[in-house]
Amino acid sequence: MTIKLIATDMDGTFLNNHGDYNRPRFAKIYAELQRRGIQFVIASGHQAVELVDFFKDYPDMWMIGGNGAELMNAQAGLTAETFSAAATQQILSVLADYPEIQIALCGTKTVHVLKQADPGFVADMGNYYYQLETVDELTQVTDPVVKFDIICAPAMTDQLVYELTPKLAEIAVPASGGQGSMDLIQPGMHKGRALKLLGNRLGIRSTEMVAFGDGTNDLEMLRYVQTGVVMGNAPVEMQTKGDTVTESNEQDGVLTYIENEILRK
């Protein structure tokens, strides 16, 4: 099997628990991947513009942002699919029945949260997203929305997904990022779809791809590629969803797999 594209999730997968990665080790691996003509792709819930900035030392790298709604390369620019204004208002109307949750509206550049939102939530969003703005009412936001970022009590997560799925049918899909957090994404706008679009653009088939992930929002991507690799730090039930399991994010599991299973063959 010839691998031509490697895609990886960010948080809990490529990044360690401090939000960074082994930069010297990756630099050597990336140089070898380029020499062999293998694409390295980041697929994340982060905004694509943030990903491009975070990896500014690698301008040829492709980014999948917004859990699949955005596709960006520093040279090619950004393409994004956003919710319609009507859909955004419908979703906010449904979410109004859950005053205990915290909501962020994520555009391609700016993320909006309520001024009166929990200070801890606002601080976390400010750390996660580069450009954060507070507003009096989320219904007043006019920027096109790529996804909704929702924080809730960990014990509430599964029930919230269960309740929102039928309420938002054909409007939005809940994608859990782990207990206590989820994204609402556009139907069909997952990482697997984005990989298919990118593969079509680059002339790379799914059978020539490997992907890494640790959460349910990575499932479509893991299923789409030839080999879906789940991180050792992923929940046990998640580890059964891939083709194989690698070491944890704290152990540079992505880099170890690439070295041992791709570059040595």
Task: State the catalytic residues.
Answer: 9
Distance separating alpha carbons of residues 30 and 32, to the nearest angstrom = 5
